[in-house]
Amino acid sequence: MSSPAAPEVHSRPMTKPRPGVLRKLAQRPLALIGLVIVVLVVAGALLAPWLTKFGPDEQMFDGLTLSGEPLPPNATFWLGTDLLGRDLFTRILYGARTSLIIGIVANGIALLIGTLVGVVAGYYRGWLGSVLMRFTDLMMAFPALLLAICLAAVFQPSLWIVALVIALVNWVQTARVMFTQTSSLAEREFIDAERTIGASSARILFMHILPHLIPTIIVWGTLGISTTVLLEATLSYLGIGVQPPTPSWGNIIFENQTYFQAAPWLVFFPGIAILALALAFNLIGDALRDILDPTQRGRS
């Protein structure tokens, strides 16, 4: 069924991401560093079985000294071994999978909830809008980490539960931003015009409001991965995130921290990995904000 062509030309979003975004991103040195780190981590996670000859849970006979201490970095075990004689490099590679899965899944759910709540509240307003936004304010008053700790303590932690817990904590900021943007968009003339010609709410939301929000969604989605990676690492470090033996950069440090004075590499290398990945997404997100959001242009 072909509908008559509606005058959509005028409502084409002004800042829809064009193919040039990636190239613009690569022209900024800091964003380029971020991209390189992300590519390296993704490659490490995907190619883990080929990059190392050890298994992530494999306890090596020669992985500990005679007195049972972990080995410092050497030719066989590139980043040293942990308290159980497992290869740290291997565990960090497999830990990247955990971080990326949680980064993508948790952040994806958070983005979905946040966008839904923010857009619905911003478009419909009325009682539904105020209820949703009051609830968002309420969630903002919770300290994120403590709320995550409460949730993780209530539900038994597993990889997917941790992702869900992080999503339930992290959607709030996205909802706030989406609300502000949607409510200002909903006041614009072209939306009024759409209503006058009889467009349904669903059509206005999906065809006219959502496309304008895409740059914001991309920016917040990227920055959100960084927050998510840090929150996962912190929960796992506190022992209520991803549970051993599944390696996660946070729980590697959790497992080995009692020994860190004698074996600092067990904290240092996974710590660098967390920092690098979180930093990478922050750098990319910040550059994307400059590129995609014209109101922010020239501010930095």
CB of 109 to other proteins, least distance (A): 19
**Interacting positions 198-227 with other proteins (CB under 8 A):** 226
Q: Is 284 within 8 Å of 25 (Cβ atoms)?
A: yes
74-93 mask for other proteins (x: CB under 8 A)?
A: --------------------
Reduced to 3 states, what is the DSSP secondary structure of residue 81?
A: strand
Q: How far is the CB of 81 from other proteins (least distance, A)?
A: 19
Does residue number 124 form part of the binding site for other proteins (CB under 8 A)?
Answer: no
CA 68, CA 71: separation in Å to the nearest integer? 9
User: Residue 278, interface with other proteins (CB under 8 A)?
Assistant: yes
Nearer Cβ to other proteins, position 46 or 144?
144
* Single residue of 8, 53, 76, 142 touching other proteins by CB under 8 A: 142
Residue 168 interacting with other proteins (CB under 8 A): no
Give CA–CA dist 148/156, Å, rounded. 12
Among 123-131, 173-181, 191-199, 268-276, the segment contacting other proteins (CB under 8 A): 268-276
**Would you call 64 helix, strand, or coil by DSSP?**
strand
Residue 48 in contact with residue 94, Cβ under 8 Å? yes
Enumerate residues 6+ apart whose C-beta is below 8 A from 76: 62
Could you say which of 42, 188, 279, 293 contacts other proteins (CB under 8 A)? 279
Q: By CB under 8 A, is residue 103 in contact with other proteins?
A: no
Segment lying near other proteins (by CB under 8 A), choices 19-27, 67-75, 146-154, 194-202 = 146-154
Site size toward other proteins, by CB under 8 A? 47
Q: Which of 79, 240, 242, 287 binds other proteins (CB under 8 A)?
A: 240
Query: In the complex, what is the shortest distance from the CB of residue 251 to other proteins, in angstroms, rounded to a whole number?
Result: 11
Six token digits for residue 18: 């064009």
Identify whether the C-beta of residue 240 lies closer than 8 Å to the C-beta of residue 159.
Answer: no
Radius of gyration of the chain (CA): 23
107 binds other proteins (CB under 8 A): no
Smallest gap from residue 257 Cβ to other proteins (A): 7
Gap between the Cα atoms of 292 and 14, Å rounded: 10
CA distance 220 to 194: 28
259 in contact with other proteins (CB under 8 A): no
Cα 156 from chain centre: 22
Give counts: helices (H), strands (E), the chain.
12, 0
Residue among 17, 89, 54 nearest 287 (CA): 17
Q: Which of 46, 104, 145, 161 binds other proteins (CB under 8 A)?
A: 145
In the block, tokens 């992985």 appear at: 63
In angstroms, what is the minimal distance from the CB of 244 to other proteins?
15
The 3-state secondary structure of 184-244 reads HHHCCHHHHHHHHCCCCHHHHHHHHHHHHHHHHHHHHHHHHHHHHHHHHHHHHHHCCCCCC
Binding site for other proteins (CB under 8 A): 30, 134-135, 137-138, 140-147, 149-151, 153-156, 226, 230, 233-234, 237-240, 250, 253, 257, 260-261, 264, 267-268, 270-271, 274-275, 278-279, 282-283, 286, 299-300
